[in-house]
Amino acid sequence: MKPILSAPVLLAVAATMLLVRAQAPVTLKEAYRGAFLIGAAVNAAQFTGQDARGSALVKTHFNSITPENVLKWENIHPRLDTYAFDLPDKYVAFGEENQMLIVGHCLVWHNQIPGEVFRDARGNLVKRKVLLKRMRDHIHMVVGRYKGRIKSWDVVNEALNDDGTLRQTLWLRIIGPDYIAKAFKCAHEADPHAELTYNDYSLENEPKRNGAIALVERLKARGIPITSVGLQGHDNLAWPSADEEDRTIRAFAELGVNVIISELDVDVLPTELTEGSADVNAHVNADPSLNPYVSGLPDGVQQTLARRYAELFGVFLRHHEVVRRVTLWGVTDGDSWRNDWPVKGRTNYPLLFDRKGQPKLAFEAVIGASAGRPAN
């Protein structure tokens, strides 16, 4: 049978592909310029330069940063009367020196917060009024300090259960359901120009997504200044499907809020026990069968991961008018929280750079997927 393309044509196609590749943008932020920002969650070693390799990768490839831990309540406000601004100040300075969109993560969450915030000197739970004041003081102090510099805040984090109802936290128990609205109001008072986000995981699952939609509708109906929803994106090779991702972005866009992919990573390890979750309080006992790639990721899985990243970025790009930013939750595979959750001490490969800081096939795939971005 005659080949569909003759040898000279095939050669020309190959040469064109090489040319396109040679001219293709080689940094993530350039590849998606005009579509959305590309962010990374950074740790203190990266933004202080102690991890020089990680720091250089962040500067080269990303135009937004989110603090992986240093702005969380227990770190920035470790005692009721003590704030610790040293590392947060350095984080913000790093973002400014490198002209990045600086994100604040996160103001009101049930994790990584000292227990004393919710209790009086005797150890009893405080009353609503007291906790509201503590929340307000914290938000005004932290948002106020970085007013106009941190332009995007995760105001409330993970307030929903998987079934879409409000999670039973001490915030809810002591203040009541309006703690969410109050938090957004305080953040808006402290910096009226900041982007204010409700951030959660597994919103691609219908019951939880419906809960979030209802929450955003309630807030908007009351005139609460929520500007965006953060889809964390702690994904795996199969979940969520491209359709679910698409449907989810569309659903929030219809509510008139922006969408942020706020904590993207793709788990390649066995996940059936925790499908689609990112609940840091869930733990699974270690077992060798749950840690199959200790000495390296097989080529086949590397390719599946690359295709998966291309698929996800394809969906984000289709919605570039509403997706403001895609933030990877970490820089290299070695940095990722996914090595320790839900099973401690595994070897995972969820990001775009390997443990030596080298770009992976998934990196190439993400660059490749940018071909359809809008013209600048």
Q: Does 280 bind ligand G3I (CB under 6 A)?
A: yes
Answer for the pair 68, 330: CB distance below 8 angstroms, yes or no: yes
C-beta closer to ligand G3I: residue 24 or 172: 172
Binding map of ligand G3I across residues 94-133, x = CB under 6 A, - = no contact: -----------------xx---------------------
Residues 64-93 touching ligand G3I, rule: CB under 6 A, are 68-69
Asked if residue 106 has a cis previous peptide bond (ω within 30° of 0), the answer is: yes
Binding map of ligand G3I across residues 298-317, x = CB under 6 A, - = no contact: --------------------
Quote the least distance from Cβ 187 to ligand G3I, whole Å: 17
- Whether residue 158 lies in the annotated active site: yes
From the list 176, 165, 92, the residue with the least C-alpha distance to 131 is 176
Considering only residues 337, 349, 353, 363, which one is a binding residue for ligand G3I as defined by CB under 6 A? 337
Q: Does 267 bind ligand G3I (CB under 6 A)?
A: no
C-beta closer to ligand G3I: residue 104 or 126: 104
Could you tell me how many residues of this chain bind ligand G3I (CB under 6 A)? 10
- Whether residue 204 lies in the annotated active site: no
Single-letter residue type at 140: H
Binding map of ligand G3I across residues 152-171, x = CB under 6 A, - = no contact: -----x--------------
Kindly give the residue spans of alpha helices, DSSP state H, lying in 51-175.
Answer: 52-61, 73-76, 86-97, 128-145, 170-175
Binding map of ligand G3I across residues 237-266, x = CB under 6 A, - = no contact: --------------------------x---
C-beta closer to ligand G3I: residue 169 or 370: 169
Quote the least distance from Cβ 315 to ligand G3I, whole Å: 21
Distances (CA, A) of 233 to 114, 268, 367: 27, 14, 19
Q: How far apart are CA 101 and CA 228, in angstroms?
A: 15
How many alpha carbons fall within 13 Å on the CB side of residue 287? 10
Residue 46's SS3 state is helix
Answer for the pair 108, 196: CB distance below 8 angstroms, yes or no: no
Q: How many CB atoms lie within 10 A of CB 60?
A: 13
How many alpha carbons fall within 13 Å on the CB side of residue 150? 31
Q: How far apart are CA 205 and CA 286, in angstroms?
A: 27
Q: Which of 68, 74, 158, 244 is catalytic?
A: 158
Q: What single-letter DSSP state applies at residue 260?
A: E
Find the residue with minimal CB distance to ligand G3I: 337
Q: How many CB atoms lie within 10 A of CB 322?
A: 19
Q: At what angle do helices 299-318 and 361-369 cross, to 10 degrees?
A: 20
Q: Which of 96, 217, 263, 311 is catalytic?
A: 263
Q: Does 47 bind ligand G3I (CB under 6 A)?
A: no
Considering only residues 159, 259, 278, 351, which one is a binding residue for ligand G3I as defined by CB under 6 A? 278
C-beta closer to ligand G3I: residue 302 or 339: 339
Provide the binding-site residues for ligand G3I, judged by CB under 6 A: 68-69, 111-112, 157, 232, 263, 278, 280, 337
Q: Residues with catalytic annotation?
A: 158, 263
